[in-house]
A and B are shown apart, each in its own frame.
Chain A
């Protein structure tokens, strides 16, 4: 039992991982079909895993309605009603169902866009609160942020030709240097993480916390 629970997931991951990696470099019809089948299985498993999240939402919100959780239960009713509606209309008529499309286009998208616009407001308050020149590094950050912001809009070049020029230099020289260096290191970190996970040194992805 210990092998099935502890080592079998690692063995399966290792074998499947090696097949998919090998297929990337070695063109063989059998290997290609095997690899794409494995990747297709992954998509199907992910699709089923979505249902776990939906069940979690249903259970939590239904509990909230039944216990009449103060300040929450009426929102829970709205969540359960809309969730059920989207699932049912999506199943009955697929995503071309007019009711599904109506709800998606007229509720989901505008609400998403409205919430997404919060980004601008949060950025404003974060910048006001955090961009205080407490040290030399923050001063440099502050200067770069202001120049790049102004260089991104037409008024920057109207104020001075140096602003868009400095913006381009900041983006193409120090930013690029940081980006390449950090990403090269991160890529090696990801390779190391992959090797440790496939060989079973790191088991948190398999749901084994006590092994760490």
Chain B
């Protein structure tokens, strides 16, 4: 049989979870889905407003996630999610008149980011506010990028710092600098330990990956979040069921190796 050995159970789980998500996506077009509030995402409006009041810019950065450096590049879920949060912030900046800067370690993210923001500014009728020189690529090297961003943040005195992307060890440098200059910070997708002690708002785990769906408030996308919850319930029952069976002396962990 040409099916890969050792991956049958994995395929079964993947199919089941995908079914839950797709089914919920379709059902949500007919029924209303309520998702609990996520404070970090709800605060983005307030954060951009603060930047407008202070007359200082909003800053977003990708983190060290290049495809060439282990982050998966544009294929990285953290970067896709970070990009989705960035486009939402760009919309808020266009509506409220805040200056927006984006710094990159990931070169392949620049074209879609610039294109998306250009479209948003055009739709909002603020084409004149779009500046391509506000999209700054520093280096694919982790710490060259980090020092560039630190220097940029201190020069520009950013009011709002959005650290949502594929952040790794450099996030302590970026977040601590933001905290020192008094920026309000929203963090996600990186080293939670560092982000927690430096950011006012934090997106943990699933909150970060469902950010785009939550921010769009599109019922179909919110439905997919409900599908993920069905998946989580399945996982919980699997954990509990197998643990209880194991305690009773019935070892079914061989199922995972099918």
Contact = CB atoms under 8 A, between A and B. Distances in A.
A34 B206 CA distance: 32
A52 interface: yes
Given A24-B7, A112-B143, A205-B83, A193 B209 contact: yes
Contacts of A202: 80, 84, 212-213, 216, 221
Contacts of B3: 25-27
A60 B137 CA distance: 9
A52 B110 contact: yes
Contact of B108 (A49, A184, A201, A209): A49
Nearest to A45: B108
A25 to B, nearest CB: 5
Nearest to B78: A190
Interface stretch (B35-43, B51-59, B111-119): B111-119
Nearest to B18: A195
A83 to B, nearest CB: 10
A136 interface: no
Interface stretch (A93-101, A123-131, A151-159): A123-131
A45 B108 CA distance: 9
A42 interface: yes
Contacts, number: 208
A192 B87 contact: no
Contacts of A205: 74, 80, 83-84, 112
Contacts of A189: 77, 205-210, 228
Interface stretch (B171-179, B241-249, B250-258): B171-179
Contacts of B10: 25
A94 to B, nearest CB: 17
A54 B169 CA distance: 23
A196 B210 CA distance: 10
Interface band, chain A: 35 or more
B81 A56 contact: no
B120 A209 contact: yes
Interface in B210-258: 210, 212-213, 215-216, 218, 220-221, 224-225, 227-228, 231-232, 235
Interface in A136-158: none
10 contacts: A25-B11, A52-B110, A189-B205, A190-B209, A191-B231, A199-B25, A207-B111, A207-B112, A209-B115, A209-B116
Interface of B: 2-4, 7, 10-11, 14, 17-18, 21-22, 25, 67-68, 73-75, 77, 80-81, 83-84, 86-88, 90-91, 104, 107-108, 110-120, 122-123, 133, 135-144, 146-147, 169, 172-173, 175-177, 179-180, 194, 197-198, 204-210, 212-213, 215-216, 218, 220-221, 224-225, 227-228, 231-232, 235
Given A116-B169, A126-B198, A192-B225, 6 more contacts: A42-B67, A46-B108, A123-B172, A188-B17, A189-B208, A189-B228
Interface of A: 24-28, 42-43, 45-47, 49-54, 56-57, 60, 108, 112, 115-116, 118-119, 122-123, 125-127, 129-131, 182-186, 188-197, 199, 201-202, 204-210, 212
